[in-house]
Structure 1
Amino acid sequence: MALEGSLKDFGFADILQLIFFQRKTGVLTIEGRLDKIRLLFIDGNITGAESKRRSEANRLGKILVKKGVLSEELLQSILQEQKNTNTKLGNLIVRKGIVEKADIEEILENQIKETVIQIFNWKDGTYEFTPTAVPVDKEIPLSIDTQHLLMEGLRIVDEWTTIEGKITLDTVFMKTGIIEAEQPEEEREILELIDGENDVSTIIDISGKDDYSVSKVLVSLLDKGIIASKEAKPLIAVQLVITEAKPPLSYTFLPLIVIIIAFVISLLPVFTESGDILKNFITSKDINELRLKIEAHKFSFGEYPADLNSIIRKSDQWHQPYIYKNFGEYYTLSSSGPDKISGTPDDIY
């Protein structure tokens, strides 16, 4: 059974956590206003990303041409061969000895990361995860740790709040013709990569710098009026749905309403019993999020936190503190569950 829904109800970070912790294999399709993206997973880790808007082959080829590794003529020749043989562009280039396998892997991994990270900024959209076998590229196998990418994505999204609303990884810029007399070197380097065709993610790939550094420079150039953004066209048309107004409820239906209310009240004990199921799910989800924050703390400081005070101050769904024990090389984390007693069968880990 497929996992599907709206990003408004279940965020992208939550989806990644679920797939990672359950070691799922399959395809996650996410569709937003500007793009439709397919992420491939094997045992919870990301092995590929496909964007409807940006072809992997076109991006890879453009990067290699911009870096001077390929000429435009040679690229077109290889693209034609790729079309005839149905072989991935990266594999063809490696076979011909034009670029080292490790270099192609690095470019492709960066493309996957950028494709994934941009989704963290999506406020609207739909998702669907379908469990299915995912083929492995034996020539250039890729596997990116979903948990590390999740932490990196959350970090970048937090940093991007300073430039939110100004640019995205899909934004394409063009030069306005304004020239600054004394321009910083880092701005000159990025300005040379702006041609009205390269989007932000391609500029990042070619520059070799990280997302945030490049984006800060682009915002600076934008604020100075040296560059301007080209408007992106939505892939999906926005439909205006007008619903017909319903007439007021007639008083003749009041007896029926009374019966319905009585029926609902009779079901309240059932709902009360099932309430713990929902609380269990929410607590389990909170614990998974806590684990990510604990791992992020170790990643930043080289050790697990002494306690949870610096990470979280909320309690579990039964208003009890989470039980955290740091043993140096490892830690344990749990909730005492509905009975509020640690060490009993209903504990949640």
Structure 2
Amino acid sequence: MLTTYSLYVYYHKSNNKEEVNERVGLEGSLKDFGLADILQLIFFQRKTGVLNINARFDKVKLTFIDGNVVGAESKKRIEANRLGKVLVKKGLLREDELRSLLEEQKNSQFKLGHILIKKGLVKQEDIIDIISNQIKETVIQVFGWKDGYYEFLPQAIPVDKDIPISIDTQHLLMEGLRIVDEWTLIEGKITLDSVFEKTYMSVPELTNDEEEILSLIDGENDVSTIIDISGKDDFTVSKTMLSLLEKGAIRLKEALPLVSSVTEISDRKTFYNYNPLILIIFLSAFFISIIMFFITSSNVLREYKASKTIEYLRIHVEAFKAVHGDYPELSDVAFNKSDPWGNPYILQRNKDSYLILSRGPDGIIGTSDDIF
């Protein structure tokens, strides 16, 4: 089961009648149900509650009212993105004012933003703008996460009348899907097991992120290790490394030549006397086996991509059923993408099921290589 829809049922009495209210909780793995799918479900069902997302490098808490995002907290970004520091950086607040206000806040039940507005030090719209941008950044960076666990808990969320924020979830989805598209460009050049080395060439000015990641590249750490050391998410690190690669600051570390040992041994005529014809046959067979390996691997990768697309479609179809009580009509499923072999995916709506499949490498329906 890809995703768990936990049903919480509670009872309350009204006019001497017992009423049943249902609250649907959503939990599972980001590998099976990505953030885009989760946000769509919350938005279309106009849910109010808290979405907790936990990964090895960060923990994020998103709050929703009627399907729109009203708040976001990141355990890792609390210090770096604190409202006061941003206000100082923007020149809207002085350092000494911030220190005094933070001391005042310790003995107060109010948040810094409320104190600033009450004292008239910063305009309400400036605070709303900064907090809204921080929320967007926090949500959008989660789109780059490939691993993690999420849980949505329906609950009442108080409305902040002094700093009213409500961000259209659909706009966040559009930006998040752009990141998903960028991943396809990154994955072709940056993989978790790739090892890079510095070129020590003169390159254009680097950003802070680029300088930080460049300092971790030593010709030994692979991308996965750099992600762990930096504490940043997969997307940020991979995108930064791609930028460094395009600027010429780093290059992929080349593997040792595969036939170097054969050449070395063949030069030792004192110990061995190889027939050149045998060596040619051996090398030919070797390279043919490599070519066949890549051909086979290519199909394996295509089959994997097809299965992931089918899984993606199936999740959307099941989510539609969860919302509307029935499977969507074929005309309602706007999906024109072809499978990795250039053939359209097969979608068939039955009474109690929804069939989604790819014809597979041979392009023929009903053969053993069909992918469901």
TM-score grouping bracket, smaller chain normalisation: 0.5 to 0.7
- Is 1:219 the equivalent of 2:246? no
**Alpha-carbon shift at residue 130 of structure 1 (Å):** 0.6
1:38 aligns with one of 30, 55, 61: 61
Unmatched segments (≥5 aa) in structure 1: 167-175, 197-210, 227-278, 289-306, 321-335, 341-349
| Equivalent of residue 28 in structure 1, options 48, 51, 54 | 51
- CA 1:56–1:130 in 2, change beyond 3 Å: closer, same or farther? farther
Give CA deviations for 1:41-88 in whole Å, capped at 9, x if unaligned.
Answer: 111111000111222795222212222222222111111212211212
**Are 2:156 and 1:110 aligned?**
no
Which structure has more strand as a fraction of its residues? 2
Q: What is the deviation of 1:179?
A: 11
Change (3 A) 1:111 1:222: farther
**Candidates 17, 20, 27, aligned match of 2:40:** 17
TM norm structure 1: 0.53
Runs of 5+ consecutive residues of structure 2 not aligned to the other structure? 1-7, 9-24, 191-197, 214-234, 251-312, 323-332, 339-343, 355-372
The separation in 1 between residues aligned to 2:58 and 2:41, in whole angstroms, is 23
* Two-structure CA RMSD over aligned residues (Å): 4.3
CA positional deviation for 1:27: 0.4
Q: How does 1:41-80 map to 2 (within 5 A)?
A: 41-55=64-78, 59-80=82-103
Please say which structure displays the higher CA radius of gyration: 2
Partner of 1:90: 113
Distance (Å, rounded) in 1 between the aligned partners of 2:105 and 2:112: 6
Matches within 5 A, 1:328-339: none
CA distance in 1, matches of 2:212, 2:95: 16
Instruction: Give the equivalent residue in structure 1 for 2:104.
Output: 81
Which of these residues, 155, 180, 197, is aligned with residue 178 of structure 2? 155
| Equivalent pairs, count | 225
Q: Structure 2: which amino acid aligns with 1:143?
A: S
| 2:124/2:163 contact within 8 Å kept | yes
Q: Find the aligned partners of 1:96 and 1:194 in 2 and give their Cα distance.
A: 39
Aligned to 1:122: 145
What is the alpha-carbon distance in structure 2 between the residues aligned to residue 338 and residue 128 of structure 1? 28
Residue 283 (1) aligns with residue 317 (2): yes
- Relative to structure 1, the CA distance from residue 161 to residue 337 in structure 2 (aligned partners, 3 Å threshold; closer, same or farther) is same
Letter in 2 for 1:32: A
Superposed CA deviations along residues 109-154 of structure 1, whole A, max 9, x for unmatched, are 1111110111111111111111100011110111011122111111
Q: Distance in 2 between matches of 1:47 and 1:143?
A: 5
Larger relative contact order (CA 8 Å, sep ≥ 6): 1
Work out the CA distance in 2 between the residues paired with 1:57 and 1:216.
19
TM-score of the aligned structures, taking structure 2 as reference length:
0.50
Deviations 1:18-59 (A, max 9, x none): 111111110010100111111001111110001112227952
